[in-house]
RNA sequence: UCCUCGGUAGCUCAAUCGGCAGAGCGGGUGGCUGUUAACCACUAGGUUGGGGGUUCAAGUCCCUCCCGGGGAGCCA
């Protein structure tokens, strides 16, 4: 018999095949048992009949959930079966009889599921999310490839830091003392644009913030892009094009998975250029009219973001924040020095910030001043300052959070389900 | 770090005013000729997160510690 995968069933209708996988669930009647069978490419129903299987039927009838089996039998179209096909077994080899599987058919709480993440990852919902993640990351890479960006893998161990050290994980580094796990590749990307023009990186990012919310992980994946000779407006135009590309391609490719996740993709279909653009000051006006007492100079909180995203039917940029609320490397507005050229992109439907980006300060003296104003030490930024000494150019870039974007695309309540093994404030196992 | 909610059977939860610790799922045994979180019958399963206290009596009230969930701040 020919071995095939469940995803290939349309080509094997009426034929005898061998499939290898696991029993997701089982139902039995007097003379017939139904195994819900999974092989990594799909699910189907295996029909096991007493009269066909003989002695092994007694074992199959009570086989523990998650046992691994190899099934030989005929592929048949069957509307009543999950996946649309069933295999009428002529024989079944038991590879391993599972111990009692901790995750049952009824609902479970988050603590239990997260403690059993290594087993939870087998479930239909979780495998669907992982496939959407795979597609999203692939389309991210495709976009940059198609637009002549070069991948630059930035270091994980770093000495200089994007911002202050209080939210960095420190690591002992031989005789050199402390290094820190990277929380951004941006500064290194800035070095790379001088040779390559447009570059990007995609990798894990570490934040030692004691954050405990549905939008935070201590280890998450971020894609960052940096472009030479790009100003603020060009940066936003690119982000708009990029986000539209990855969303449209991902939802088109993974329709079945999104359906399983019960994600209504109509709102996602509207994610095409142009996005809404409002200034920080306009955002404050909106919030004040909604009854907020937020003061100028304060960063927008989670609730503020939610209020604003609910007013728009597609992603919205909030541009030009006060300089005091943002990082030192952002370029200050030439006419209004109290502002910087930056923007956060908020995803609709209450998801909030998925991108932070800015045009970078390319003037040596202004950058030195900004470093000092932020109580940072210019000496530790030697190489970064050099970039403003040898052919400095206007440049801009942004970073997009993979898990937040995936959470939005999948319509999930919490980012913890979007990464295979989430690291959170109180959780580093499994 | 702060606010808030919670911890009872392997899992999800219930237990009235402080008064015999229960159900569903899962496990075991048996039944059922096509099931859809299958169903039916029977059955086993408990140091009520740990420690201390009040009381005739504590899952329930008080103190304390531990472990989680949600949120704030911060950020993607």
Q: Is the pLDDT of residue A161 over 70?
A: no
| pLDDT tens-place string over residues A259-272 | 999 999 999 999 99
List all nucleotides in chain B with at least one atom under 7 A from a protein Cβ: 1-2, 10-13, 24-29, 31-39, 67-76
> Is the CB of A297 less than 7 A from some atom of nucleic acid strand B?
no
pLDDT value of residue A341: 96
pTM beyond 0.90: yes
pLDDT value of residue A282: 93
Q: Is the pLDDT of residue A428 over 80?
A: yes
Query: Do A280 and A322 form a contact (C-beta atoms < 8 A)?
Result: yes
Residues 165-224 of A with CB under 7 A from strand B: 167, 184, 207, 209-218, 220, 222
Query: Do A277 and A236 form a contact (C-beta atoms < 8 A)?
Result: yes
> Is the CB of A109 less than 7 A from some atom of nucleic acid strand B?
yes
Section A140-158 average pLDDT: 96
Section A131-137 average pLDDT: 97
CATH topology for A2-96 is OB fold (Dihydrolipoamide Acetyltransferase, E2P) (2.40.50)
What would the 3-class secondary structure string for chain A be?
Answer: CEECCHHHHHHHCCCEEEEEEEEEEEEECCCEEEEEEECCCCEEEEEEEHHHHCCHHHHHHCCCCCCEEEEEEEEEECCCCCCCEEEEEEEEEEEECCCCCCCCCCCCCHHHHHHCHHHHCCCHHHHHHHHHHHHHHHHHHHHHHHCCCEECCCCCEECCCCCCHHHCCEEECHHHCEEEECCCCHHHHHHHHHHHCEEEEEEEEECCCCCCCCCCCCEEEEEEEEEECCCHHHHHHHHHHHHHHHHHHHHHHCHHHHHHCCCCCHHHHCCCCCCEEEEHHHHHHHHHHCCCCCCCCCCCCHHHHHHHHCCCCCCEEEECCEHHHCCCCECECCCCCCEECEEEEEECCCCEEEEEEEEECCCHHHHHHHHHHCCCCHHHHHHHHHCCCCCCCCEEEEEEEHHHHHHHHHCCCCHHHHCCCCCECCECCC
The residues spanned by each domain of chain A are: 2-96, 117-418
Higher pLDDT, residue A166 or A296: A296
Q: Is the pLDDT of residue A164 over 70?
A: no
| pLDDT tens-place string over residues A321-377 | 999 888 899 999 999 999 999 999 999 988 899 999 999 999 999 999 999 888 888
ipTM of the complex: 0.88
pLDDT confidence of A137, banded at 50, 70, 90? very high
pLDDT confidence of A163, banded at 50, 70, 90? low
Q: Which CATH class is domain A117-418?
A: alpha beta
Q: Which nucleotide is nearest to A299 (CA to C1')?
A: B74
């Amino acid at each position: 018999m020919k071995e095939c995968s469940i995803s290939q069933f349309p080509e094997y209708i009426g034929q005898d095949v061998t499939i290898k996988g696991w029993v997701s669930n089982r139902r039995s009647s007097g003379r017939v048992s139904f195994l819900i069978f999974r092989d990594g490419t799909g699910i189907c129903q295996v029909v096991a009949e007493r009269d066909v299987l003989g002695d092994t039927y007694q074992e199959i009838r009570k086989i523990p959930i998650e046992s691994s089996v190899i099934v030989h039998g005929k592929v048949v179209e069957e509307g009543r079966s999950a996946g649309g096909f069933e295999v009428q077994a002529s024989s079944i080899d038991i590879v391993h009889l599972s111990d009692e599987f901790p995750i049952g058919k009824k609902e479970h709480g988050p603590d239990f599921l997260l403690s059993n993440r290594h087993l939870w990852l087998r479930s239909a919902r979780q495998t669907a999310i992982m496939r959407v993640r795979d597609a999203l990351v692939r389309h991210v890479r495709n976009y940059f490839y198609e637009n002549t960006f070069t991948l630059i893998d930035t270091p994980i161990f770093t000495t200089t830091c994007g911002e202050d050290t209080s939210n960095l994980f420190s690591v002992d580094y031989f005789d050199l003392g402390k290094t820190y796990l990277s929380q951004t590749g941006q500064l290194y990307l800035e070095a790379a644009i001088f040779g390559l023009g447009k570059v990007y990186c995609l990798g894990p990012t570490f934040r030692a913030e004691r954050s405990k919310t549905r939008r935070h992980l201590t280890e998450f994946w971020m894609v960052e892009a940096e472009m030479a000779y790009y100003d603020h407006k060009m940066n936003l135009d690119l982000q708009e094009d990029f986000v539209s590309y990855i969303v449209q391609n991902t939802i088109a490719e993974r329709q079945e998975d999104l359906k399983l996740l019960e994600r209504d993709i109509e709102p996602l279909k509207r994610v095409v250029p142009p996005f809404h653009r409002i200034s920080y000051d306009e955002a404050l006006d909106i919030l004040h009219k909604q009854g907020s007492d937020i003061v100028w100079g304060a960063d927008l909180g989670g609730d503020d973001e939610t209020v604003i995203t609910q007013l728009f039917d597609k992603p919205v940029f909030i541009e030009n924040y006060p300089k005091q609320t943002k990082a030192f490397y952002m370029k200050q507005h030439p006419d209004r020095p109290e502002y910087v050229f930056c923007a956060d992109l908020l995803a609709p439907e209450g998801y909030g910030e998925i991108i932070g980006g800015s045009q970078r300060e390319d003037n040596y003296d202004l950058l030195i001043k900004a470093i000092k104003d932020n109580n940072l030490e210019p000496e530790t930024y030697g190489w970064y300052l050099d970039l403003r000494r040898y052919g400095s150019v206007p440049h801009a870039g942004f970073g997009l959070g993979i898990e937040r974007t995936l959470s939005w695309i999948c319509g999930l309540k919490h980012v913890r389900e979007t990464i295979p093994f989430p690291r959170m404030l109180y959780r580093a196992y499994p």
